[in-house]
Structure 1
């Protein structure tokens, strides 16, 4: 009876059964269909372009490999990407009209997995294990490359050698004093020398420069310095090649143009920055002009543009060729060769390669009559660099160069800027004024876009860089570089002196601008380490701003604005401890930085000052009235968030009576030492001795929050970190 009633009742008479069987799936499909339609409409209205986003997801895969800790997590990330690919394909088969969304899901997941796999494979292929401990040894090696650094009175050699115990091949980098330099000490020579070798250093404290990671991808097993004379066992082959030509040009330029201007001219002509003094480099950095010293987009573009203009005018004089060949194509080919040659001559660093690839793409677009400056062009250049050097993604060079280009293209393709720069009937003075205003606006936009990147990597930024660049960029592009080129050409006739004199004056003006700007009050802004999370919020907001079109792009200001507010309220670390325990910085004591040691190491002091975001000169604890120091220990009492903290720090490794040490540890909240402490040393909160620091690396301690950040937390099981 019950079964009959159930089967005979029409579906329409039973709302519950009808809803369950028909209406709910139908409503779900309608809902999903509406969402998909909304996504497609959004993509159409926002100017979705697959090319740039594919490069973004390829880069996201690389970043994920660095962010995750171990191979299991990397495999899970790749597996998750393939699940998305499977879901995208299933959507395509079930709803062919949604092929656009399915294709987007499939393509982005595929390039994400490809990016992660690419950097993983690159790490396995080129990564070199570091030596286990410091060593003073005699080595026999072949010189792979040589870098002159006269400003530091040394020559830097990259050597290939074999490990004395295992016989495995190793690359090491050794600094040789200028007094021990020899003409035969160059590429191809086999040499013998005594050297003190060190494993590449990890970050000194969380957020500091990770040289161990850089060395891993360079294949370096050790760095060090030579001691005594260098013996030449086998001389090199006769001079030749790009490196030899680069050094010859650099020496020639410095011989023709002395002083600081000559060192800058050598950098422009050959990419050799080894002779630039530390004071000039610091002034250029604080004035926001360091990009002028690194051969990148500005220099490559200037060389290619000048070569193109010169070639097309000279070719136009050949009537037979002009009637039979498209001169723009021929001139573009010559300019491309000129750009490639300049890139190779100046060292083929990542910014230079990126600029060269981008400029060649612009030339191809011009030859084909297509739009030369586009986001797709930047995406292709970025993908080219990331496929060859995926590790460059996490370095400041890649991030700064591509961010600047993205800002320029996005800004100049926006409707208000196009309207502002549109041709019109006006005087030459008004036209020049509009272009000057646009140059200033572009400089400000680039300055704002690059500041989070500069702060993340260097913890300091020049505030007035946009204004300095308004004068410096035209000065270098239209005066200094052309004069250097003319001077080099005229030197072949022995008549380059006037051009060198003018070039020197223009570079003296550039340095004067840098030093004056850097010395202004408030010219440099220091900021404590922001953390990877805030940095990614800035990057995500910036990419949203430049890759979409219309008003929807303004949503990118939301994550960037939130990150800026959080960053401004980020607390200053109270204590910073280096990974070896020797260097300790105490921040927040009357706005000063206190250091455990009166160190002669500017590297250690600079790291502590920059990571704490404090300007000025650090004060040794022994000279601070609130500290009590003996020959072996310093004790400092600090007050944070209403609590008193007693911090004891070891200065030496001298023997200390066991009971006295036990009592001192018992009274302390934190004990920091660069040696092993006995088991009976039990401070109230933290014992950071050599045993702990070997596993954790450097420390950043926030007393107000009662939290500790370690270098090891950010390293995972990557090959360059030995703590795991």
Structure 2
């Protein structure tokens, strides 16, 4: 008998079962490799979980700012305490569950930060317009508006206001010939004061909220030349900084001159007020407006130029280079230069974010670490959100962090491949040049795509040729403009800044020429419909999902962001708009554009409505006895039609008839015949058969109105969108009514 005659033994049942289980596990593992599950992706990206803490913190802050009413002060701290307790109890649970609890803690922390910040900056706000009154106060800031001066005062007394109701700061436009004030001086002037104006449309920029966190309690204008009171100017760090900024701004304008001088001052000290509106519009339409906001580009160039220059000088001195760590000493000098630049520029949100990131990178050099990563950006976001959570709601924070997040994520994705390709084979210098050019193009594309949704939300336009404009000017800015600015600042104490700033002026002239040329191209500024707030939130979530994860599931963020961005076209704009004083109306025309009422009153509201809801070419309002369309039988599908006479207008759209009334004697007939009544005069309670009635008191009490026509007309007001918050003028009006106060 040989081996071939031996029959194979059948495995025991237990062994067979064990083998089947092992095969099943192997098969399951293979399928998981082919079809990765979200749990596997989440575990594989565990080191990226911490990157979601700033978005969670920002979510809490946004929840606070978007509430319809001010919550009790204990809500935020209670949420933080509850989240801390839950995290402590579950600390030994699954890591994903603990991470979720930490995210909830961050949300509660963001909510609390918003509450605390709002309480810390609380200051009196003027409840209603007063004046002319005598105002005495210390000059905090002087801005040249190109022909007029605007000053920010810290008033010590305001006529007709008790000391407890005097605003912390007021902003006034100076009229008349008088001495030009300086920071720290005491002024006495006669001025008309008014509260920070409410938005001109529901959902528009909330200036009263912005003013609340700046402790700006009133705005206005003077009616006589200001009087400078005798005595030495006030001291202090803030006054010294503003004095330095004012001096540097004046010397830059004198050295450069013209529009280029104003742009140069904006790049160095952040003084943008004197740049002509036509120039600003050209830079916006060409996609170069980001250069006027001191941010990462400027901070990186400034710190990088100082770093390279100082290191080159120190390395050329053998006694220093051989005995000391030149790189670390240079990093310390560059950090000090960056800190000086952020103070000199006014410390706006983009410059703060850029400084924090630059500081972390330079500190990493001092500690022999590498720090250009998304974690650096996360630390910068947390610093800004902890100290100024209100910045989250503004375009500067959103666009700045969106651009840098996209750039860093893109760099992380391609940097290893580019480094390997650049260092391989012949013609290394040519490969390096190709990488530099490709990197510039890719950076511009990434930054433009990342900021486009936020530009569309806040400004309702997207620069169509931003890529071409930025590619044309970035070499000039990097090689000529910013190096000349640094050299000019260094030579300014010696009075030798003329030549460097002249070079800077030539570079800015070239940049301005590119901006004006690109802005003149057809379709340079592409109008975009209003993006709803939830759409912007979804775009942000999709972008973060794409940038913060590394696994293939990150691509789902592209789908979410694309669908959310299309929400701007899902719902049409309002059919009727009325400002808070009833002096301006607008209705939707046959072609989709706005028909604006005649006159020049409230030009700001007219421009805003046209940008947010209008078409490129406005339709003229019909004269008395005329109409905007042919007289045809009115049906549900008929195009909008507007006809006017001496007593008002009749607007017909979407199967409804709307009476726009400006005289009381037209009310009886229009109340009986119209489906919707909009009157600039008081109506009273007897006109109740209409589907919606808006009169003079509604406009005064609730601000500008927007109306969507339909079987059930929908009305939105500024008071509703602002909410019952401490910065809302409607909140203060309700407080005065409840207290029975009649005056300030």
Q: Please report the TM-score for the alignment, with normalisation by the length of structure 1.
A: 0.87
Structure 1 match to 2:227: 231
Structure 2 match to 1:645: 657
In the TM superposition, residue 579 of structure 1 has moved relative to its aligned partner by: 2.8
8 Å Cα contact 1:88-1:102 kept in structure 2: no
Q: 1:175-574 maps to which residues of 2 (within 5 A)?
A: 175-177=172-174, 179-183=176-180, 185-237=181-233, 241-415=240-414, 418-419=417-418, 422-424=421-423, 425-426=426-427, 428-489=429-490, 497-574=498-575
In the TM superposition, residue 618 of structure 1 has moved relative to its aligned partner by: 5.6
Structure 2 match to 1:714: 721
In the TM superposition, residue 583 of structure 1 has moved relative to its aligned partner by: 2.1
In the TM superposition, residue 322 of structure 1 has moved relative to its aligned partner by: 3.0
8 Å Cα contact 1:621-1:634 kept in structure 2: no
8 Å Cα contact 1:288-1:469 kept in structure 2: yes
Using the TM superposition, name which of 562-571 and 484-493 deviates more: 484-493
Residue among 708, 730, 735 paired with 1:702: 708
8 Å Cα contact 1:646-1:670 kept in structure 2: yes
Residue among 676, 681, 686 paired with 1:670: 676
8 Å Cα contact 1:287-1:514 kept in structure 2: yes
Classify 1:235/1:474 alpha carbon distance in 2 versus 1 (closer, same or farther; 3 Å): farther
Structure 2 match to 1:106: 101
State the SS of the aligned residue for 1:49.
Answer: helix
8 Å Cα contact 2:314-2:321 kept in structure 1: yes
Q: Unpaired segments of 5 or more residues in structure 1?
A: 1-33
Question: Residues of 2 paired with 1:234 and 1:674: CA distance?
Answer: 49
Classify 1:145/1:529 alpha carbon distance in 2 versus 1 (closer, same or farther; 3 Å): same
Question: Residues of 1 paired with 2:571 and 2:420: CA distance?
Answer: 41
Structure 2 match to 1:29: none
Which string of whole-angstrom CA distances, capped at 9 and with x for unpartnered residues, describes residues 172-226 of structure 1? 433333643414x222322221111111112111121111111111112111011
Q: 1:48-67 maps to which residues of 2 (within 5 A)?
A: 48-67=47-66
Structure 2 match to 1:126: 121
Classify 1:561/1:496 alpha carbon distance in 2 versus 1 (closer, same or farther; 3 Å): closer
Structure 2 match to 1:9: none
Which string of whole-angstrom CA distances, capped at 9 and with x for unpartnered residues, describes residues 484-512 of structure 1? 33345556666655544432222111111
Which string of whole-angstrom CA distances, capped at 9 and with x for unpartnered residues, describes residues 43-72 of structure 1? 222354243211121111101111223355
Classify 1:711/1:418 alpha carbon distance in 2 versus 1 (closer, same or farther; 3 Å): farther
8 Å Cα contact 1:411-1:417 kept in structure 2: no
State the SS of the aligned residue for 2:205.
Answer: coil
In the TM superposition, residue 456 of structure 1 has moved relative to its aligned partner by: 1.2
Which string of whole-angstrom CA distances, capped at 9 and with x for unpartnered residues, describes residues 261-305 of structure 1? 111112122221122111001111111111101111111111100
Question: Residues of 1 paired with 2:582 and 2:602: CA distance?
Answer: 15
Structure 2 match to 1:27: none
In the TM superposition, residue 400 of structure 1 has moved relative to its aligned partner by: 0.9
In the TM superposition, residue 526 of structure 1 has moved relative to its aligned partner by: 1.7
In the TM superposition, residue 608 of structure 1 has moved relative to its aligned partner by: 0.8
Using the TM superposition, name which of 473-482 and 45-54 deviates more: 45-54
Classify 1:598/1:672 alpha carbon distance in 2 versus 1 (closer, same or farther; 3 Å): same
In the TM superposition, residue 415 of structure 1 has moved relative to its aligned partner by: 4.2
Question: Residues of 1 paired with 2:416 and 2:508: CA distance?
Answer: 32
Residue among 676, 679, 688 paired with 2:685: 679
Classify 1:452/1:78 alpha carbon distance in 2 versus 1 (closer, same or farther; 3 Å): farther
8 Å Cα contact 1:213-1:720 kept in structure 2: yes
8 Å Cα contact 2:139-2:151 kept in structure 1: no
In the TM superposition, residue 344 of structure 1 has moved relative to its aligned partner by: 0.5
Structure 2 match to 1:174: 171
Question: Residues of 2 paired with 1:42 and 1:364: CA distance?
Answer: 33
Question: Residues of 1 paired with 2:116 and 2:554: CA distance?
Answer: 35
Structure 2 match to 1:610: 611
Question: Residues of 2 paired with 1:710 and 1:42: CA distance?
Answer: 45
In the TM superposition, residue 611 of structure 1 has moved relative to its aligned partner by: 1.7
Classify 1:42/1:66 alpha carbon distance in 2 versus 1 (closer, same or farther; 3 Å): same
In the TM superposition, residue 83 of structure 1 has moved relative to its aligned partner by: 5.2
Question: Residues of 2 paired with 1:546 and 1:73: CA distance?
Answer: 36
Question: Residues of 1 paired with 2:727 and 2:496: CA distance?
Answer: 53
Correspondence 1:723 to 2:723: no
Classify 1:409/1:649 alpha carbon distance in 2 versus 1 (closer, same or farther; 3 Å): farther
State the SS of the aligned residue for 1:414.
Answer: helix
8 Å Cα contact 1:250-1:266 kept in structure 2: yes
Classify 1:488/1:216 alpha carbon distance in 2 versus 1 (closer, same or farther; 3 Å): closer
Number of aligned pairs?
Answer: 675
Question: Residues of 2 paired with 1:613 and 1:487: CA distance?
Answer: 45
State the SS of the aligned residue for 2:587.
Answer: strand
State the SS of the aligned residue for 1:723.
Answer: helix
In the TM superposition, residue 75 of structure 1 has moved relative to its aligned partner by: 5.9
8 Å Cα contact 1:671-1:683 kept in structure 2: no
Which string of whole-angstrom CA distances, capped at 9 and with x for unpartnered residues, describes residues 108-138 of structure 1? 2222211111110111121234222111132
Q: 1:40-119 maps to which residues of 2 (within 5 A)?
A: 41-72=40-71, 86-92=85-91, 96=92, 98-119=93-114
Classify 1:89/1:503 alpha carbon distance in 2 versus 1 (closer, same or farther; 3 Å): closer
State the SS of the aligned residue for 2:170.
Answer: strand
Question: Residues of 2 paired with 1:378 and 1:180: CA distance?
Answer: 48
Residue among 131, 155, 162 paired with 1:160: 155
Classify 1:75/1:712 alpha carbon distance in 2 versus 1 (closer, same or farther; 3 Å): farther
State the SS of the aligned residue for 1:192.
Answer: strand
Structure 2 match to 1:625: 627
8 Å Cα contact 2:171-2:216 kept in structure 1: no
8 Å Cα contact 1:358-1:378 kept in structure 2: yes
Using the TM superposition, name which of 232-241 and 393-402 deviates more: 232-241
Classify 1:43/1:223 alpha carbon distance in 2 versus 1 (closer, same or farther; 3 Å): same
State the SS of the aligned residue for 2:677.
Answer: strand
Classify 1:188/1:490 alpha carbon distance in 2 versus 1 (closer, same or farther; 3 Å): closer
Question: Residues of 1 paired with 2:430 and 2:599: CA distance?
Answer: 58
In the TM superposition, residue 555 of structure 1 has moved relative to its aligned partner by: 1.3
Question: Residues of 1 paired with 2:333 and 2:83: CA distance?
Answer: 46
Question: Residues of 1 paired with 2:420 and 2:622: CA distance?
Answer: 58
In the TM superposition, residue 354 of structure 1 has moved relative to its aligned partner by: 1.1
Question: Residues of 2 paired with 1:116 and 1:461: CA distance?
Answer: 32
Question: Residues of 1 paired with 2:598 and 2:563: CA distance?
Answer: 38
Question: Residues of 2 paired with 1:140 and 1:284: CA distance?
Answer: 38
Classify 1:194/1:497 alpha carbon distance in 2 versus 1 (closer, same or farther; 3 Å): closer
Question: Residues of 1 paired with 2:250 and 2:174: CA distance?
Answer: 18
